[in-house]
């Protein structure tokens, strides 16, 4: 591969241009890696925030559920006492929140029937709702999505780093080609360097 039509000066110019292109692309790749890493860090931090919010919502739900169960136990203990049945009714009407009243009243209506629920806190109860269930599910989905985005950005960063390594190799080949006097070796190294530049551009686009 002599490429007789390519003069010595033209080959030197080709090497110089290749060095410039590789240097610019290397700097651009470093910038893209930094951007991808920043996006990954941001997505990861958001995901951790969503996990914290999900945990908080779940704890709030557990606390509210525990309070309802404690009230129901107090209500039942009062109701089964013949001397305090009226007090149980007042307790239900005056103290319990409207939603909890509906849950307990539904349970009382079906109590004693075949297959009756032993607690008002069951999905069979049309008035029962799991506290913060939608919020917990929403935060869980958001956290998973952000973790997925963070991993995608990390993968993009890894591909860009690979492109940077290819460019560094191309820069090295251009540098060696610039100082070697033997034309055949100079042409081979220059060709390999340009292949590396093209490969890195493809890697950057694919990232």
User: How confident is the chain (207 residues) per 10-residue block, as mean pLDDT?
Assistant: 68 90 92 94 94 91 89 86 74 86 89 84 86 85 93 92 91 90 87 91 83
pLDDT of residue 132: 78
Please, what is the angle between helix 8-79 and helix 85-94, to 10°? 150
Sign of CA dihedral 116, 120, 123, 125: positive
| Burial of 201 (C-beta count, 10 Å sphere; 0-12/13-18/19+) | middle
pLDDT of residue 115: 81
pLDDT of residue 5: 66
Q: Give CA–CA dist 171/194, Å, rounded.
A: 10
pLDDT of residue 128: 87
pLDDT of residue 173: 92
pLDDT of residue 178: 86
């Amino acid at each position: 591969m002599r490429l007789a039509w390519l003069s010595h000066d033209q080959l030197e110019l080709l090497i110089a241009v290749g060095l410039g292109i590789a240097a610019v692309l290397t700097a651009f790749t470093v910038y893209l890696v930094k951007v991808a890493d920043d996006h990954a860090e941001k997505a990861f931090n958001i995901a951790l925030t969503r996990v914290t919010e999900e945990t908080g919502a779940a704890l709030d739900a557990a606390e509210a559920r525990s309070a309802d169960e404690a009230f129901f136990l107090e209500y039942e203990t009062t109701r089964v006492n013949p001397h305090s049945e009226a007090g149980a009714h007042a307790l239900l009407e005056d103290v319990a929140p409207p939603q909890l009243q509906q849950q307990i009243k539904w349970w009382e209506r079906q109590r004693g029937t075949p297959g009756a629920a032993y607690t008002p806190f069951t999905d069979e109860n049309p008035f029962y709702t799991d506290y913060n269930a939608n919020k917990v599910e929403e935060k869980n989905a958001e956290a998973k999505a952000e973790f997925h985005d963070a991993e995608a950005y990390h993968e993009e960063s890894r591909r860009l780093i690979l492109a940077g390594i290819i460019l560094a190799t191309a820069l090295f080949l251009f540098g060696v080609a610039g100082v070697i006097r033997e034309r055949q070796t100079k042409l081979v190294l220059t060709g390999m360097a340009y292949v590396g530049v093209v490969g890195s551009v493809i890697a950057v686009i694919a990232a």
